[in-house]
Structure 1
Amino acid sequence: MNPTNRADFLETESLLGEEEREIGRTVRDYARAELAPHVADWYERGTIPTEVAKGLGELGVLGMHLDGYGCAGTSATAYGVACRELEAVDSGLRSLVSVQGSLAMFALHRWGTEEHRQEWLPRMAAGDAIGCFGLTESDAGSDPGSMRTSAQRDGEDWVLNGSKMWITNGTLAQVAVVWAQTDDGVRGFVVPTDTPGFAAHEIPRKLSLRASVTAELSLDEVRLPASAALPEVRGLKGPLSCLNEARYGILWGAAGAARACFEEALEYTLARSQFGKPLASFQLTQRKLADMSIAVTNAGLTAVQLGRLKDADRITPEQVSHGKLANVRVALDVARTARGMLGAAGITLDHTVMRHMNNLETVSTYEGTEEMHTLSIGRALTGIPAFR
């Protein structure tokens, strides 16, 4: 087999259009040249420079699936391909793009006012402003309806109090989309992060997703004008619509992480010799490589099919749950197998597999745990909700 398509055994790329393939090549080349040489250092130091967002904005991937306001307006499939190539380098890079484009920017684009869009989206698309998305709380993860953050009217203003936890980009952001309980149900608010009473504190000592900034947001009597509220939605429909967008990018990203781990395991076992011959010549190794190839291929096919459904405006949240659950599960299995195949070398940052494996532990939890996605699929199959 030609070495260039070992990681695409069934030629899944042929299912993409030429523009989608070109976007994939462009993002892959950029990520490998500009980001991959530095990501192990960022991971080790537990940070990511703000300049990365500027570079991704110049590349055109921030909010690329949105129309207007400096956004590229690509297909959903093209956006997924970009997520795949970014996460093939590191989950933190795809997380930055997902939170910026599919959470913060999508919330403004779909549920905000024209003034919100004009003020923030062009800068966010360019990477000149970074956004974050404040939904999760320390006691309200899978059950966002139990959030305690509140927004109360005071004359024409809103006053927000509460806290949000596990917020990607929190300390980097110039704007936060914060969801809070009001007398009229859950509502979203556009909060410039220099507003008095707003603070973001980085969460230290992470063992996963280290090339990404995660924060706790604190809102202490944060006063906002009436125009800060997102006017077009009430209740959990708003934040859940944004989460569905982000989950879609995740299912593509997980396919990229799985592919990267498989490629490294294949390369390593072909080059490394034991007992006088390459590791790849042993039957047990070839069984692992064959299983990994099948898993990577199936993840890619799942992503392409869901991309086509999304572009046809036929995708359901349960189908996104299927993709996120299946592809992250596959990626974790591939990463763990690859880690073992590299032996002791697999635990170092000189190789990618354990970094991917650790990152995927976070990816499996955020934007919906395995349990929540399983129950979402179960409800679709049976018509019986079993969340409580």
Structure 2
Amino acid sequence: MIVSLVYRVTRMLLSVPAVLLRRQAVKDAELLVLRHENAVLRRQRVGPVRYEPGDRLWFAALSSLIPRWRWVQVFPVIPGTLLGWQRWLVARRWGYSDRGGKAGRPTTATVVKELVVWLAWENPRWGCRRIQGELARLGYRLGASRVWEILTAAGIGPAPRRCGPTWREFLTAQAESTIACDFVHIDLVDLRRVYALIFLEHGTRRLHVSGVTAHPTAAWTVQQARNLAVEMGVYLESLRFLIRDQDVKYTESFDAVFQAEDIETVTTAPRAPRMNAHCERVIGTLRREACDHVLVWNEAHARHVLESYARHCNGHRPHQARAQRPPLAEHQAALLSDLNTTRRLCRTRVLGGLTSRDEFLNGTR
């Protein structure tokens, strides 16, 4: 107790000369700090002390008049807090926050951002520079760095490390060079059965009815392959693969017709119709939309039904795989700009009315 008392008295005596030697401005500043702190405590008697912006402004202003080594004894907050208030005041003074507009380059329109993201997704091998060039061709001036910022915000990585094409995109690209074939049987009225060999182009979904016979043989099948090669002509050179099953009627001579055009034959596994799914699907469609609703009398009638449906399918029937376009249509029909104008609709019956082809006439009624 005695030692502690002597220590406190000694500290008080030593602090008296320091106070006397201190400048008057410093003492006045410390006095103002203490008075303001007293006012804060009187204002807020319950709960923790919370300083308002005016209190922070006052303490920060007085801190410039008091030596830093005295801040711990004078101010009710730590020096770091006081310096933070001072930086806030400087930022408010020199930050130009009262200006109306935002500084920097103008913002990019939302439609342009959506276009950048769409180009990146549709073309996974395009980098920022390539997308920038495509935008310039479309009339949008945008920097490569801005394109990178838009792609990064959308979660799309750089082109070299961006994910490759999806399975749908990959298989669609391979379908352009693939053709498939299969036999379809048709039951006649007299319970006899005839067979037709059909070919389906995967890329365009174009259907070819090569021939109809009651007795398909290996020689007949080879001749149908030759007829297809003559019918398709130069277009056959763009194909790369032929998909078929392991029917005994497909002989080496049949494969040789396509090998002469550099087309590789791919055989499906036994009892695996899904390996030739597109051809199986078109056979089912042919039955549901035509053959199941017609009494077929003979071989010639069967050929007429199949060829009529093939012409309708290739020229007018929409296909989901081609964005509702027929196989022979290069572009989708133009949308009607004026729905109030009365137009004449022409309906052409196919196969006696089993299906129809509807088209608007050029003139109006």
TM-score of the superposition, structure 1-length normalised? 0.22
Please identify the structure whose Cα radius of gyration is greater: 2
TM-score of the superposition, structure 2-length normalised? 0.23
Higher-helix-fraction structure: 1
Structure number with greater CO (CA < 8 Å, separation at least 6) is 1
